[in-house]
Chain A
Amino acid sequence: MASRQFATFEVAGQLFGVEVHTVQEVLSYNEYTPVPLAPQAIGGLFNLRGQVIAAVDLRVQLGLARKALEGPVMNVILRGDGEPVSLVVDRIGEVVDLDDDTFEPPPDTLSGPTRELVVGTFKLDGRLMLALDVHQAVDTSRATT
């Protein structure tokens, strides 16, 4: 049975996951430079070992209110095309091995911005994990409603 590894994290009480190979690293950071006039979903910029990384607020991408970037905030840094980009999340979860048979397409009842970001649902013990489309999740030009 084919299985895949997912890095999981929580946003607004919901468990999300991205495939492990898309993740460069996970770190907590607390100094962000806001970018005036940038798309809403850009939480700010930060310095990752000399590299300037844009932090994308997953809450905004999911159509929720923006998270105030005060104090340490967890970042899931995705490799991205050409340059890393960070997803700001609430809490980091475990890395889980998931069999393909626990996968199902997103439920029909899922709607709104979340629907566009999610490629499927994995049934974990006791809770559901939504697998994110990495490209969509960091696409800040996407109109968020």
Chain B
Amino acid sequence: MEDLGEIVGEFLMESHENLDQIDRDLVQLEQDPNSRDLISRIFRAIHTIKGTSGFLAFGRLEKLAHAGESLLSKLRDGAQPVTPATITTLLATIDGVRSLLAEIEESGNEGQVDVEATIAQVNAQMKAGEAAAAEAPAAPVADAAPAPEPLDETPARPAPEPVENQRRPIGEILVESGAAQAQDVGSALAQQIEGDERKLGTILLEEGKAQPAAVSEALQAQTPKRSIADSAIRVDVDLLDTLLNMVGELVLARNQLVRGVMEIGDTTLVRSAQRLGMITSELQEGIMKTRMQPIEHIWSKLPRVVRDLSQGLGKQVQLVMQGKETELDRSLLEAVKDPLTHLVRNAVDHGIENPDERIASGKDPEGKLTLRAYHEGGHVAVEVADDGAGLNVERIAQKAVENGLLRPDQIPNMDRRDIMAMVFQPGFSTAAKVTNVSGRGVGMDVVKTNIENIGGAVSVDSTPGEGTVWRLTIPLTLAIIQALTVDCGDQRYVVPQVAVLELVFIDGQSTKIEYASGAPVYRLRGKLLPLVRLDRALGLEVGADQGVYIMVLQADGRRFGLVVDRVLNTEEVVVKALNSRFKDIGLYAGATILGDGKVGLILDVSSLARRSHLTADAERQNLEASSRASGKGGSGERLLVTAVGERRVAIPLDTVTRLEEFPRERIEHAGSREVVQYRGQILPLVRLSHLLGAYGEEPEGDTVSVVVYSEGARSVALVVDRIVDIAENSTTARRDAEEDGLVGTAVIQQRVTELLDVRRAILAADPNFYTDLENDELLVEA
């Protein structure tokens, strides 16, 4: 059986390809039931499978294929019309063949796969066809309708079909073209019969009886014209991967060399280096091409998916595919397959309406689903477009609020597309009912994760009543990416260029970073862009707000700015996987070797994006942490100056939520604490005068001034005597605190002012204030 291993392997691979083709052809046949070409093609393919399985003694497989073939021969002879039911039966037969093949691949034999049910179905189909044929034209033509081909246990081995694609013997071709002598071919054949395992052409070549060119020509002539697939050889993917890795190394070595040569400045060397550079690029391109496959490979299964699904849902869907020949890296194709299938299923299930609904809204009852693939700026874009009802933005917004993903007040300011992008959030589904296809809220987030894992992006756009377009942007290849190198805290980092929308230089004058309640933002053409400081995200020392760059990035359907010290250049880098010990950090997508030979870390933009969501809170905590630690919060920090007794106490304005005045009589007591009812909540109060030990005269007046501080659902109020001013802290003299409850003293507006330790003050009012927040580990900055 061992010798058979290779043959079986080949048979499996070939059959899988054939089955995919049959699938496509069957679906097409349903559209075009009279195409004899299609029927013959399907027939031939099944026939081949039947023949080989008989030869390899896979009895059940042979039987099943035979059944399918019998039904097909009736269709071919016109004895039975092509109906959706026949197509369904044939597809079921193909599925049966598939599962048998899978079993053979797995265990080497046919296992327990049951084929009888399918065969019975085929027989029933043929009987039904006969009955119909017999009844319909009550034709007197000798009612000798061909007896149903008996499906006995051992189907008669069919006579060799005069199949057009049967290969002509290569010897014949060679002799005919005069490239070889008949007697040489004869003796070569004799050698083969004696056990020479070489192929005929090889024997002739090695014995010098034929020219290589003639043989390869004959081989091509021998190959029936089917597709380019036949002019190709199979290469082990591992080998290609190794080659690709080596080319990657070569690219690195070239980068280093070019850099070195530039420094030396020798013209001859520079020229050689440039030439090496060119050759390397071409080689790289060539190797990349070997891994490229047309996207058709993963699309080929979709007509079947759409057909089965639309039939099951009682919908009519026409599938249009454009740009099938667009090529993608093999590994990427694999990664895109499932997300794409999901999008297609989703479009059929939710996108395209029922025929009645479509008619009611004045559309063609048959929906149109368009798959489009095309190149776009170093990427491949794949679109799944339907002409259905479109996404219901209001409903998505409402759902997002219900799920706590958005606050109601955010909605009016949001872009329509940003709202639509919420569907990519985990657990998000607006489907009114859960079907077995979609609507469980799993899926879109997985689509997004999968696509982002390969460095791509997903977006959605929709017009009510006209349809929805899902768009995948996929890098051409995984291993080498276009990237921007940036500096941050004297280290170099790499940002995948696919995520970069634009760069902004912050000079502190015309462009500057601003803070919204502690969260850094930038006004990008009038809209606020949340910022993430890379140094802070990496736990490094936080640098200045001036003379830095903002990289406007897009990931996770969110736009944010990454603040870095310097942007250097774009480079092609080879992505190296990072060891699992760095996975938990979650900030790095990988590593690469930079032009200078050092290792550079590739930043994970989507995880930075997730961070940007949190900066508002994290930023605040950081601010306190830094002011608590050293009292040297950044320069230019704005302070709220209050009066407490004789003293001036400053509170960083960024941490303040609101300033309020309460009537004195509204202060109530809960235990030993003072509280106020405030917006339906109980707001704990702390008197700064007590906290700071500045007991003195209670100020006159019917109201108290409080500074309200909120985080999440919790609020506390700090009672001060008076709000004095808001000042810019351009500290000249500053001293660290020696007193409890303060972080230091500073000279503000020519007066000594004490800086409040906000965290302590808050804890004095509500000891549990931070507990809940800190339980959420995401909020705790390392």
Contacts and interface: CB of A to CB of B under 8 A. Distances in A.
Interface of A: 31, 33-39, 42, 44-47, 50-52, 54, 83, 85, 140-141
Contact of A31 (B579, B587, B597): B597
B599 A85 contact: no
Contacts of B252: 50
Contacts of A38: 581-582, 585
21 contacts: A31-B598, A33-B598, A33-B599, A35-B582, A35-B588, A36-B491, A36-B587, A37-B538, A37-B539, A38-B581, A38-B585, A42-B581, A46-B598, A46-B599, A50-B248, A50-B249, A50-B252, A50-B593, A52-B578, A52-B591, A52-B592
B252 to A, nearest CB: 6
A122 to B, nearest CB: 29
B483 to A, nearest CB: 15
A33 B601 contact: yes
A51 B599 CA distance: 9
Interface of B: 248-249, 252, 491, 538-540, 576, 578-579, 581-582, 584-585, 587-588, 591-593, 597-601, 782
Contacts of B597: 31, 47
Contacts of A83: 579
Dominant SS at the B interface? mixed
Contacts of A44: 599
A34 B491 CA distance: 8
A54 B581 contact: yes
Given A34-B491, A36-B539, A37-B539, A52 B581 contact: no
A33 B599 CA distance: 6
A35 B598 contact: no
B585 A35 contact: yes
Contacts of B582: 35, 38, 42, 54
B651 to A, nearest CB: 31
B538 A85 contact: no
A35 B782 CA distance: 14
Contacts of B601: 33, 35, 45
Nearest to A31: B598
What are the 9 closest A-B residue pairs judged by CB atoms, nearest first?
A36-B538, A45-B599, A33-B599, A52-B591, A50-B249, A52-B576, A37-B585, A47-B593, A37-B539
B600 A33 contact: yes
Contacts of A51: 576
A46 B576 CA distance: 12
A45 B249 contact: no
Contacts of A140: 581
Nearest to A141: B581
Contact of B587 (A37, A39, A46, A50): A37
Contacts of A46: 598-599
A87 to B, nearest CB: 14
A54 B576 CA distance: 13
A134 to B, nearest CB: 15
A33 B491 contact: yes
A1 B598 CA distance: 47
A41 to B, nearest CB: 9
